[in-house]
Amino acid sequence: MDRFLYHETRATGAALVATAVCAVAGGAVHGFEPLPAGEAGRQFPVWLLGLVVLSVLVELVVEVRRFRKAVPLDADVEPPPDEPLRGRLFLPGLFAFMAVPTLVAALVWGAWLALFPLASAVHWGTQALLITVWERRNGRLLWRKHTMGNVGLATSPLSPRPPTRTATGAPPA
């Protein structure tokens, strides 16, 4: 079980590092050709921005529904300690999974293909932002919990649970 926010933040980091590595390598081999001049060159960034905004709005609706369906952790399940992100800012396995095919494509077909992981970075970064806002508004943390091969979502209170006490007020043995 791990924090959903940390997982999405690390996935965003992996996609950004993969993009940077592939862009440097692809740019060194092929160079970046400018966008086409004329009407098509001016409209491309506008269409791309519109597509990003549309995907963020769709994701907002779909993911918030998924967060609401998250079940509370059982009383006997203690969430793992909240480890800081400073130790690992990206997922090495995901980095390799994204960087190798992207690097091959950028070296064979052109440097612009090195920017392919940015789409995933936008998706995961947006999801991390949505998770942050949802956790603050609802006062609960979202956890990814692995059960029988599926990944489900669970919630826990924002503050850690108070330690269990006996009837006399002493900590349990």
Backbone φ and ψ for 144, nearest 5 degrees, come out as -90, 125
DSSP character at residue 170: P
Provide the edge-to-edge strand list for the sheet that holds 71-72: 2-3, 140-147, 150-157, 71-72
Tens digits of per-residue pLDDT, 119-150? 889 889 989 999 999 889 988 888 887 765 56
Tens digits of per-residue pLDDT, 75-91? 767 777 767 676 678 88
pTM above 0.85, yes or no: no
